[in-house]
Chains A and B, each alone.
Chain A
Amino acid sequence: MSVAMSDQKNEHGIVLTEEQKRSRRARSIALGLCLGVLVVLVYVVTIVKLGPGVLVRPL
């Protein structure tokens, strides 16, 4: 694999194999999910900390 990789690197830069693409995609999905969960958690915790008064606002 590394011999093929170095040939490919010389001509087109780094070209990922299918397996490398799959693991990169899996990492991206996991990272996206973690960030999504973090955003939801921070939102919910913020609402809890502010209390029900956050919904009572003068128009």
Chain B
Amino acid sequence: MSFTTDSAGLPQGLRSEVRAEPSMAGAGDYLALLKPRVMSLVVFTALVGMAVAPEHLHPVLGFFALICIAIGAGASGALNMWYEAEIDALMKRTARRPIPAGRIQPGEALAFGLTLAVGSVVFLGLMVNWLAAGFLAFTIFFYAVIYTMWLKPSTPQNIVIGGAAGAFPPMIGWAAATGSIGLESFLLFLVIFVWTPPHFWALSLYSVEEYRRAGIPMMPVVAGAAETRRQILLYSIMLAPVGALPWLFGYAGLSYGLTAIAGGVLMIVLAWRLHQTSSERSAKHLFAFSILYLFLLFSVLLVENSIGASGLGLPFGRVFA
């Protein structure tokens, strides 16, 4: 199977001609380039990584670090939109983004993304620490180059490996607070890493025709819907115990443990239902619940840490650490 894109349906602004009209882009278009919804998830998970760290930053420095991480995440979003503008134009979900819609020129988005990427890394390094800054730089590189340019157009395992980019923020938050990389932050990385495939494959199941048209080798396009549903089920079964690891290692309290177990079981039930029924509705249910699952896990971790209830975890961490 070959994966080529047909540029015949592209808007004028995306072809090689140089558009002469002055820009009509508003501030909102530049904000859209930053993928604010993805950015909010990144900020939230980085905040949790920062909050559960054994050392704490001054609140002003913590706030500044979060802004740098948010802008770094936004920069990788802008670079992703710059590179994928032609693909975005072919998909209903992304066709109204600023570049395919012709409101922002690809070169503007590239310059915007690069400026923010360099700025966020340099400021994080100068004001917080260079380990966190290096981590942020690597995350931007991983998302924009490894995932967007290399993995996404070439392998159905794109989001399995590329999911690491979305999983790094809690480790960046932790590194900002402590100047090091801890086992606990790695466990948070692992939770998001294993969560990503069932989350994205559920979305791709009901967007399969768009991915096919755009020439992206997502799992359902290459291996078919049945195999994708089987993989979703396997990853959900793996996610349930991985989600509980912070509790099993003694880094999180009982409420986290119970939430992780209940959420993990529900993920498996929804994945099993999708495996059996293969309806679009089941895929949408799993996709929506996966967002709630991750949000709940990290929220409980944050709340436990704020009220000092994280000491009720199992003591395996003392054995392994």
What is A's interface to B at a CB cutoff of 8 Å? 1-2, 5, 9, 14, 16, 19-20, 23-24, 26-27, 29-30, 41-42, 44-45, 48-49
Contact = CB atoms under 8 A, between A and B. Distances in A.
B64 interface: yes
B22 A45 contact: no
25 contacts: A1-B21, A2-B21, A9-B20, A14-B22, A16-B22, A20-B23, A20-B24, A23-B23, A23-B25, A24-B22, A24-B23, A27-B23, A27-B25, A27-B26, A27-B27, A27-B30, A29-B27, A30-B30, A41-B67, A42-B127, A45-B61, A45-B64, A48-B58, A48-B60, A49-B61
Interface in B47-95: 58, 60-61, 64, 67
Contacts of A27: 23, 25-27, 30
Contact of A48 (B20, B22, B61): B61
A3 to B, nearest CB: 12
Contacts of B30: 27, 30
Contacts of A2: 21
B21 A19 contact: no
Contacts of A9: 20
A18 to B, nearest CB: 12
A14 B25 CA distance: 17
Contacts of A1: 21
A23 B26 contact: yes
A26 B24 CA distance: 10
A23 B24 CA distance: 6
Given A5-B21, A19-B24, 17 more contacts: A1-B21, A5-B20, A20-B24, A23-B23, A26-B26, A26-B27, A27-B23, A27-B26, A29-B27, A30-B30, A41-B67, A44-B60, A45-B60, A45-B61, A48-B61, A49-B61, A49-B127
Contacts of A42: 123, 127
Contacts, number: 42
A27 B60 CA distance: 28
A24 B38 CA distance: 27
B265 to A, nearest CB: 44
Nearest to B27: A30
Q: What 7 pairs between A and B have smallest CB-CB spacing?
A: A30-B27, A48-B60, A45-B64, A45-B127, A20-B22, A23-B24, A23-B26
A41 B12 CA distance: 40
A19 B64 CA distance: 36
Most buried by A among B22, B23, B25, B30: B22
Contacts of B61: 45, 48-49
Most buried by A among B25, B27, B123: B27
A49 B67 CA distance: 17
Given A2-B21, A48-B58, A49-B127, A41 B27 contact: no
Interface in B1-56: 20-27, 30
A44 to B, nearest CB: 6
